[in-house]
Amino acid sequence: MTRFSLAAAALAIGFGVPAAADEISDTLQSALDAYEEGDTAYALEELDYARQLLLALKTDALAGFLPDAPEGWSREINTEMNAGLAMMGGGTGAEATYAGAGTRLTITIMADNPMVGAMSGMIANAAMYGARVERVGREKFMIKDGEVTGLVANRFLIKASGGDAEEMLALVGEIDFRGLRSFGQ
């Protein structure tokens, strides 16, 4: 891969965040410089760091799909979400906890994680598991054991837990599924 195409690919993933993109570009340039100098160990360190920065951008962008808190509620975004995903096979995730009206519920969006694929069969056969299925827009969500779980574009697992099913479905319904489908492509 040429120097131009590596830098262009990194910037294309940058989601238009100039300050972060500069740090990513600088880190990639540092990796290329180290590689050209024969310091492959440092080049690998810099590439790993650039990857971390790119994943952070992707996580921040994915968090943008989490619904705003309903009026009178609060929303707290979990900034440690991706650390947990690393132990579950990787991918990108965003999570927020919503509190209000005596309820505390959580919505999680996971992308490109092995768990996502594993859930597709379960959601497709929800009745066999004693679950019911509800449509939210054009998406199907399985409701079982106090959780609402859906799969969007076979890439994104959306899970809500901790609240009344109707509250969770209403909040999940605020997600821009169409935008989510084109995320990262």
**Rounded to the nearest 5°, which phi and psi values hold at 135?**
-90, 140
User: Average per-residue pLDDT in the chain?
Assistant: 83
Give Cβ neighbours of residue 182 (< 8 Å, ≥ 6 apart): none
* Strand bridging mode 132-136 / 103-111: unpaired
pLDDT digits (tens, 9 = 90+) for 151-178: 998 889 999 999 999 999 999 999 999 9
Spatial distance between the Cα atoms of 98 and 76, rounded to a whole number of angstroms: 7
In this predicted structure, the answer to whether residue 12 has a pLDDT above a threshold of 50 is no
Considering only CA atoms, which of 34, 36, 42, 32 is closest in space to residue 8?
Answer: 32
State residue 148's pLDDT score.
96
Task: Determine the pLDDT at residue 99.
Answer: 96
Span 124-143, average pLDDT: 87
- What was the pLDDT predicted at 4? 37
C-alpha span between 93 and 37 (Å, rounded): 36
Identify the pLDDT of residue 120.
Answer: 75
Say how far apart CA 181 and CA 185 lie, in whole Å: 9
Long-range CB pairs of 133-139, under 8 A, 24+ apart, other chains included: 134/165, 134/169, 136/169, 136/172, 136/173, 137/173, 137/177, 138/177, 139/177
pLDDT for the residue numbered 184: 72
Structure confidence by residue, pLDDT tens digits, 42-98: 999 999 999 888 888 888 889 999 999 999 999 999 877 665 565 556 778 899 999
Per-residue pLDDT at 5: 36
pLDDT at 7: 41
Report the C-alpha dihedral over residues 68, 70, 76, 82, rounded to 10 degrees: -50
Q: Residue 15's closest CA among 76, 48, 67, 60?
A: 60
